[in-house]
Amino acid sequence: MRSWSLWAFLPICFSLCTAIGLILVYFIARQYDTITSLGWQSSNNRRSPPYISIAGNQPPASCVFSQVMNMAAFMGFLIGFLRYLQLKPKVRKPWLNIACLITFSLASFGMTLVGNFQWSNDEDVHNAGTSLTFGLGTVFCWLQSIVTLRLNLRNEGRRLGIIRFVLSAAITLSMLLYFSLMLRGHHLHGARTQWCLVMFLLAFIGTLSVEFRHFNFDVVCMEHQEPPVTLSDRFSVVSENHPGTTMQTQDQPGYF
């Protein structure tokens, strides 16, 4: 049995660490009695509904929340970039792969806005980050589901594609239900739906480990002896003569 690449653990670590971090934020907020429980409706009107952003709204929970979201944003961008490199030599129409990279990069940027601009301090920026994270994160999931099914890496794409389509549908329905409940004022049910939405998103990213286990990503740094005269020549030399300066994937070719 072929051993797994260590890169396979990156999506798993992203999903587990982010989920554990957000749950920790929730329990800290509960410890300081700033939010209600997800389990029942509180009669104490001083407590806020247990939305993730509200749980991470006040210190000390806000400090942990910012750190969790910043780490998730960094790891998410890295995963999106590696996924782009993994698929780049295998696709004939690059626009879909580029769209995946752009959408998840912007979704990762949205995570930093959510984590660093608390809801009570700058509601507009915080909500913009939420829209980027949930909206473009959902688009990324649908695009990746299509790519998975069409590319069919190692003949695993069809089974994995079905799982990802189911998760994408669950994410979309959860997001629509979340906004609907929130706008109608059903905040406890809206908060529960938001937590489900986030967990579905994390589960989807975790499935990327299935394809990452077949690939190795290497970075090689080389000393350049004779620098080119012009900037355009410099980029030409890097791309043509020194492929080791970029990240490369190792696997058998496949195209769609």
Work out the burial of residue 74: count CB atoms within 10 Å of its CB; fewer than 13 is exposed, 13-18 middle, 19 or more buried: middle
pLDDT 10s digits, 116-174: 998 888 899 999 999 999 999 999 999 999 999 888 777 787 889 999 999 999 999 99
Which pLDDT score is estimated for 27? 96
38-47 long-range contacts, CB within 8 A, separation 24+: 38/188, 38/191, 38/192, 38/195, 41/188
Give tens-digit pLDDT for 168-227. 999 999 999 999 999 998 999 999 999 999 999 999 999 999 988 887 777 777 776 665
Burial class (CB in 10 A: 0-12, 13-18, 19+), 253: exposed
Average pLDDT, the chain: 85
Position 252 confidence tier, pLDDT thresholds 50, 70, 90: very low
Report the percent of the chain where pLDDT is more than 90: 60
Tell me which of 40 and 112 has the higher pLDDT: 112
**Residue 86 pLDDT > 70, yes or no?**
yes
Tokens standing for residue 79: 């995963």
